[in-house]
Amino acid sequence: MANTLTLEETLRQVERLRGDLSATIKETERGHTETEYNDGGGWDSMSRYIYGETIDRWVVDKPAEPDIKKQEAARQELQQTYDSSECYSARYAAKRDLGAKPYELEEQIHEWLGELEEDLKAVDIMGGWDSKDRFLMRSRRLFGGKIVKRLNNGKESFCLEFADSLKRINAVNELGELFRLSNSPVIKKSLKKAYQNDCYLAKELAGEYLGYSKFRNWINEIPVAVAATAAASGLGYALYQYMVR
């Protein structure tokens, strides 16, 4: 399976292959049509009798033969997806459809979890300035993050370290799809960690996978202001405390 596919496209392909595992040759099916009478007749408001309808139903006498060639091709492609796809959730779905036992799937999740949680903390590094000049400070205001001091061949320089949003969002997507497929409590725990992420887009996406409302996402973005306002009433403050748990 091509690695150029998006996560969503790869998962759709796996779903199609899952159906192909039970593919049959439709032309080999044998059966006949039976007509049933639907006794739904009665009198209408104009004192006219309305007769019930007849319904044709297909009865299978001989099931269609399995399409061995198509089923085997689907198994091979699912195996290829599991072996080489860059999408963890697609690999999980492929392994599940190939007949893996629940404990094997859970072990696989634990194997991937460490790397995904590392991606939730991924950062980008910009620059290598000799001093904290104005361009560095402007870049910090623009991109956020923090200024870090580094040594390169014994020479001191300053860099801007900020969240790698793309990598963090991809990690949340993977965790979310794994949670959707497995309902694993360890994945849910990781999504809750992602919901505390300092990358707003990753945080919002994690909230969606956890089923949180947009209001809850919003209220968590401005806790200080909300707390100050809500403190005016005991009910408002209680609501705030509930929403930010």
Interval 213-232: pLDDT, tens: 766 655 565 544 444 444 44
Helices (H), 183-232: 185-194, 200-209, 214-221, 223-230
Q: What residue type is assigned to position 82 of the chain?
A: Y
The CA radius of gyration of the chain, in Å to the nearest whole number, is: 29
Average the pLDDT over each of 15-24, 85-94, 97-106, 197-206 and give the range with the smallest value: 197-206
More reliable by pLDDT, 94 or 156: 94
Please report, rounded to a whole number, the percentage of residues in the chain having pLDDT higher than 70: 71
CA distances, 213 to each of 56, 207, 208, 227 (Å) = 47, 8, 7, 19
Answer whether residue 138 shows pLDDT above 80.
no
Residue 147 token pair: 């200024």
Average the pLDDT over each of 27-41, 84-98, 192-206 and give the range with the smallest value: 27-41
The whole-number pLDDT of residue 177 equals 96
CB-based contact 191:109 (threshold 8 Å): no
Rounded to whole angstroms, the Cα distance separating 22 from 17 reads 9
CB-based contact 229:239 (threshold 8 Å): no
Domain ranges, ordered by start, for the chain: 7-97, 124-163
Residue 33 token pair: 């049509």
Rounded to whole angstroms, the Cα distance separating 238 from 46 reads 62
CB-based contact 170:119 (threshold 8 Å): yes
Q: Over range 56-64, report the average pLDDT.
A: 83
Short-list 32, 220, 189, CA closest to 117: 189
Question: How many C-beta neighbours within 10 Å does residue 15 have?
Answer: 12
Element (H, E) at 141: helix 134-143
Strand partners, 155: 152
